[in-house]
């Protein structure tokens, strides 16, 4: 009897959800017949922007400062900052937590498995650094350095060391007293493509080591930084953006090429020196590539739309409107919509959603 009731309840909920979609479609079709295109477009957009009943809403309110989102290298651990509240959740074991900070950080970087974070706090003439544990309360370390807010530092996966840039040089500092910063890479070893421009530097963890971007204005060099050896080695040039999009396994993706001709590049890491390979030319709507598992397909967002694409398939707009997206775990899309809401959704859509997207495009283009 319990199983029968549960089945009937699921059928009812499914029918009820579908009936709402069908009711919306019928109402929109009437509006289109009346040539009320603006009203129809607004109603359809409102549906596509909002999370659905089976989506997981993480935040329904827009924070006062831009939300910062970071992921572990395997995309299983999500860390995001909403004003002075630091929140994390782990897809592998379902754990989650939050920590209230005294101030609103200007930026945030996480360790390889996102167990530790490095927060930058703005000051009058630069930023100061805090190393924070996201597992427990055993680390809250303030660095003695005052650094430029233009760069992105890093933190080791055990939280024992932080890395940051001062005057275009890379320093290492243990997260214990007394504060003892050490210069480990001089500026001559991490030169940018154009020495006449003020350079920016970015660190991203890959295993015990880091990727290091050096450059500015759409032109960067990519270096391989090994903290234990205090060494750097250039592994790529003609890099467009100093952003990394973690893939599945020990891989990451970034953008190379030149302005007007963008190339997707893949970086394999985990066994010695990372190897970089050029994949294929991409368009502007594919510039934030999140790799799907098991397929040569990606999702990106551009101009409020979410695209599913790949080298051997035509780009497809999904029935989902997001200002920014991240791919969490294997195939969960973290969507930040234009209203500032943040929610997790999957990439499986009912037929009614595709019909609603088509109606929205028709009404919007009238």
Give helix 2-33 / helix 37-49 axis angle, nearest 10°. 150
Asked whether residue 349 carries a pLDDT value surpassing 50, the answer given is yes
CA–CA dist 334, 68 (Å, integer): 13
Three-state SS across 106-123? CEEEECCCCCEEEEEEEE
The two tokens of residue 19 are 């009936």
Question: 18 falls in which pLDDT band (50, 70, 90)?
Answer: low
Please state at what angle helix 351-365 crosses helix 2-33, rounded to 10 degrees: 20
Q: Of 122, 201, 210, give the one whose Cα is nearest residue 166.
A: 201
How far apart CA 233 and CA 224 sit, in angstroms, is 5
Under DSSP, is residue 358 helix (H, G, I), strand (E, B) or coil?
helix
**Nearest-angstrom CA–CA distance, 330 and 349:** 17
- Tens digits of residue pLDDT in 225-281: 999 999 999 999 999 999 999 998 899 999 998 877 899 999 999 888 999 999 999
- Using the predicted structure, report yes or no on whether residue 109 has a pLDDT greater than 50: yes
Residues 6+ apart with CB under 8 A from 113: 72, 73, 74, 77, 157
* Cβ neighbours for 162, distance < 8 A, ≥ 6 positions apart: 118, 129, 131, 141, 143, 153, 154, 155, 156, 172, 173, 175
| Confidence check: pLDDT of 175 > 50 | yes
Helix spans in the chain (H): 2-33, 37-49, 351-365
pTM above 0.85, yes or no: yes
133-154 pLDDT per residue, tens? 998 878 899 998 889 999 999 9
User: Helix and strand tally (H, E) in the chain?
Assistant: 3, 28
- Dihedral (C-alpha) 226, 231, 236, 241: value to the nearest 10 degrees? 70
**What pLDDT is recorded for position 254?**
97
Domain range list for the chain: 23-62+296-365
Question: What is residue 43's three-state secondary structure?
Answer: helix
Report CA Rg, the chain. 23
Which residue, among 237, 271, 270, has the nearest Cα to 254 in the 3D structure? Answer: 237
Which DSSP state fits 152? B
């Amino acid at each position: 009897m319990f199983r029968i009731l549960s089945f009937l309840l699921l059928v009812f909920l499914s029918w009820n959800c579908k009936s709402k979609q069908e009711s919306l479609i019928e109402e929109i079709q009437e509006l289109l017949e009346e040539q009320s295109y603006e009203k129809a477009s607004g109603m359809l957009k409102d549906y596509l922007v909002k999370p659905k009943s089976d989506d997981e809403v993480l935040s329904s309110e827009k924070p006062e400062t831009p939300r910062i989102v970071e992921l572990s290298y395997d995309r299983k651990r999500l860390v995001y900052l909403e004003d002075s509240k630091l929140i994390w959740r782990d897809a592998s074991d379902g754990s989650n937590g939050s920590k209230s900070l005294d101030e609103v950080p200007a930026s945030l970087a996480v360790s390889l498995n996102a167990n530790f974070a490095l927060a930058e706090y703005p000051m009058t003439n630069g930023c100061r650094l805090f190393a924070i544990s996201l597992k427990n309360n055993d680390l809250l370390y303030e660095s003695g350095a005052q650094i430029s807010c233009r760069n992105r530092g890093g933190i080791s996966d055990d939280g024992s060391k932080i890395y940051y840039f001062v005057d275009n040089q890379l320093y290492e500092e243990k997260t214990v007293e007394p504060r003892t910063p050490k210069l480990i890479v001089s500026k001559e070893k991490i030169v940018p493509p154009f020495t006449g421009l003020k350079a920016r530097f970015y660190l991203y963890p890959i295993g015990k080591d880091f990727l290091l971007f050096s450059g500015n204005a759409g032109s960067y060099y990519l270096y391989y930084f090994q903290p234990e050896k205090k060494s750097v080695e250039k592994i790529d040039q003609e890099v467009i953006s100093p952003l990394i999009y973690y893939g599945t396994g020990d891989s990451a993706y970034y953008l190379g090429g030149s302005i007007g001709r963008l190339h997707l590049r893949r970086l394999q890491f985990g066994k010695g020196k990372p190897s970089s390979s050029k994949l294929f030319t991409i368009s502007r709507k594919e510039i934030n590539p999140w790799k799907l598992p098991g397929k040569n397909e990606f999702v990106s967002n551009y101009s409020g739309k979410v695209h599913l694409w790949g080298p051997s398939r035509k780009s497809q707009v999904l029935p989902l409107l997001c200002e920014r997206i991240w791919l969490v775990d294997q195939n969960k899309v973290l969507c930040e919509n234009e209203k500032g809401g943040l929610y997790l959704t999957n990439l499986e859509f009912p037929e009614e959603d595709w019909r609603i997207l088509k109606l929205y495009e028709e009404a919007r283009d009238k």
